[in-house]
Structure 1
Amino acid sequence: MKINNRQLEQKLREKDFLILVHRGSHGGNIIENTSDAVKVALLQHADMVEIDVSKSADDNFYIFHDGGEKRLLHELRNIKNLTSQEIKSKLLHNSLDEPIEKRIESFDYFYTHVNHNTLINIDRSWEYWETFLPFLDKYSEMHEYFILKSPPKRKYLRQLNDHRIKYLYFPIITDLEQLEILKEFPDLNLVGLEIIESLEGKFKLINSPKIDSYRREELMLLSNSIKLNDETVLFSGLDDNLALLEGPKSSWNSILKTGINAIQTDWPDILYQYRQTL
């Protein structure tokens, strides 16, 4: 069964570009990758919210980006090595590094506490697709709102391609050869591409004629404006920091001129204000 993509298509038609929020809107006592962060992202005019999925040692799914354990839990072990009982016992820490009465949310808790008309980009789940895809099937009320992504490795694409429910999907593209791999899996429910331009000042991928067919189909072409650190380049050096400190025209405007129609950010309210000026 192929999931209908009308919710995403409608937003692409209605908006100058889509605003995706990285891990939800977080700060203060609102913790990333929580249903609270999704609610705040919607208040800040998000069109889609990205979340991360991890699996515990006893095979339960949680909304968490592994690697953040030390920062958010003061825990040195990876969440993949923690049992559900251990995960539920740990308090999250807020932006001031204070422990608060908030815990990592299970997927089921998250699902029951978010608006079911919210487009949710599910990140970091690909490692578990053998069990996660059947698990996701039961959350049928949001099937049109779940959008999966992954690196376009054949293992992941085969699992997605062969699963009976064809979820909305976009791959993370880092080189043009990956577009050829996608063609090997005709049953993918492809709704867009995330374009990673890792060389500062270069637009090797987004300016390639190989992307033109995706433009003509009016699929989502997503860039990452988020600033992960001082080293990682996600879209040719055009990022949130540049937009905030030197003005949107120096960054977000330049991104949009490449034909991108969706931007992932950590600052949705300011990006929304910029979109209102277009």
Structure 2
Amino acid sequence: MFGQNQFSDINAHLNGMFAERGTLIAVHRGQPGGMLQENTIGALIAAERSGGDLVEMDVLRSRDGDYFMFHDGQEPQRFGFNHSLETFTSDEIAELSYEKRTKAPFYRVTRLDDLLDALPDRVILNIDRSWRYWADSDLLPWLGKRDLAPRLLMKVDAADAEAFEAARRAEVKFPLLPIASTVEQLDPIIRDPDLNVIGVEFVARDSSHPFCDREWIQGLRASGIFSYVNGLDLGNGLPMYAGWDDSVAILNGADAGWGPIVDRGVDVIQTDFTALLDEYLCLRGVRTRTPLHVLQTTEAISMFNTNRSAGPC
């Protein structure tokens, strides 16, 4: 069981997924493709149907305090301007559309509350980049009122002391996933009884890092903390995990890109290639095969359609 005993009820859903599936797959920004945009309800549904267990998505706050699903810094690629959406009001963000290859349909920037309403029962939402707002907003209390703590995994910079203090003050103890680049960053937080630290996301530039040592990872697991690794290639030349990533797996073979991660006994792998990683992990015997998913609720599809419009704004 991962996490401290006192938080076992909140962590039960995620622990049940580990028990059922083995190595879990986190899907980076959902599963975009074709007409589906990242960080949207459509990408969330596609991630679940592709076999993802956790869906990682980014949160951004508007100038007037509403929350949307968007990775700031992507404005030039998505909308053709250089202004951060954090400087826009919620009404202004709501007017923006993702334009794709055809004139219609257009896709809106998704509100956080709409995404939560559409969250499939089996999936855990891995919320990234929200920790920036914990200390000076009501985001954590607002999330707490939605009674979704067992379905959320909150990423947080392991060096952000203010964010952890906000998590300590929060009434609801959300499962936390610190993003760490050194072992020392974990010492003040990993055993804190007021923090529900359940896993650690590793950043390791080369294979000599302790985070790449199988025995160290096994020791972390034995202490009740799971390991989470990025198999992403962000295209910036900086390895997320010793250069073992999706691009290597696709171009040079899965054993070259994902094999070393599996060899080290990592518990969660984040990827942009959900179905291929799912197949590989099953072949390696560390994951049970994903059944063909049929979305059971109409709410998610309804919310997806709400975020589309028939023509330009």
Please state which band the TM-score falls in when normalised by the shorter chain. over 0.9
Match of 1:266 in 2: 272
Match of 1:170 in 2: 177
Q: Deviation at 1:245?
A: 1.1
Match of 2:21 in 1: 15
Q: Deviation at 1:98?
A: 7.1
**Secondary structure, aligned partner of 2:91:** helix
Which structure 2 residues correspond to residues 19-38 of structure 1 after superposition, within 5 A? 19-38=25-44
Aligned residues: 275
Match of 1:78 in 2: 84
**Where do 5+ consecutive residues of structure 1 fail to align?**
none
Match of 2:204 in 1: 197
Change in 2 beyond 3 A, CA 1:77/1:98? farther
Change in 2 beyond 3 A, CA 1:275/1:209? closer
**Secondary structure, aligned partner of 1:228:** coil
Which structure 2 residues correspond to residues 23-62 of structure 1 after superposition, within 5 A? 23-62=29-68
Match of 2:110 in 1: 105
Which structure 2 residues correspond to residues 59-70 of structure 1 after superposition, within 5 A? 59-70=65-76
TM-score by length of 1: 0.92
Code of the residue aligned with 1:112 in structure 2: it is D
Measured on the aligned residues, the alpha-carbon RMSD in Å equals 2.0
Rounded Cα–Cα distance in structure 2 between residues aligned with 1:218 and 1:184: 10
Q: Deviation at 1:173?
A: 1.1
1:159 equivalent to 2:190? Answer no
Rounded Cα–Cα distance in structure 2 between residues aligned with 1:183 and 1:275: 28
**Secondary structure, aligned partner of 1:86:** helix
Match of 1:5 in 2: 11
Equivalent residues of 2:52, 2:123 under 8 A apart: no
Equivalent residues of 2:22, 2:267 under 8 A apart: yes
TM-score by length of 2: 0.82
Code of the residue aligned with 2:38 in structure 1: it is E
Equivalent residues of 1:88, 1:104 under 8 A apart: yes
1:247 equivalent to 2:270? Answer no
Identity %: 28
Code of the residue aligned with 1:202 in structure 2: it is S
Code of the residue aligned with 2:133 in structure 1: it is Y
Equivalent residues of 2:30, 2:57 under 8 A apart: yes
**Secondary structure, aligned partner of 1:221:** strand
Q: Deviation at 1:183?
A: 4.8
Code of the residue aligned with 1:104 in structure 2: it is V
Equivalent residues of 1:16, 1:275 under 8 A apart: no
Match of 1:117 in 2: 122
Higher mean Cα deviation, 110-119 or 70-79? 110-119
Q: Deviation at 1:252?
A: 1.0
Which of residues 132, 137, 141 is equivalent to 1:134? Answer: 141
Equivalent residues of 1:69, 1:76 under 8 A apart: yes
Higher mean Cα deviation, 24-33 or 100-109? 100-109
**Secondary structure, aligned partner of 1:5:** helix
Match of 1:256 in 2: 262
**Where do 5+ consecutive residues of structure 2 fail to align?**
1-5, 285-313
Rounded Cα–Cα distance in structure 1 between residues aligned with 2:238 and 2:102: 25
CA deviation string 1:79-110 (max 9, x = no partner): 1000111111111133x597741110111121
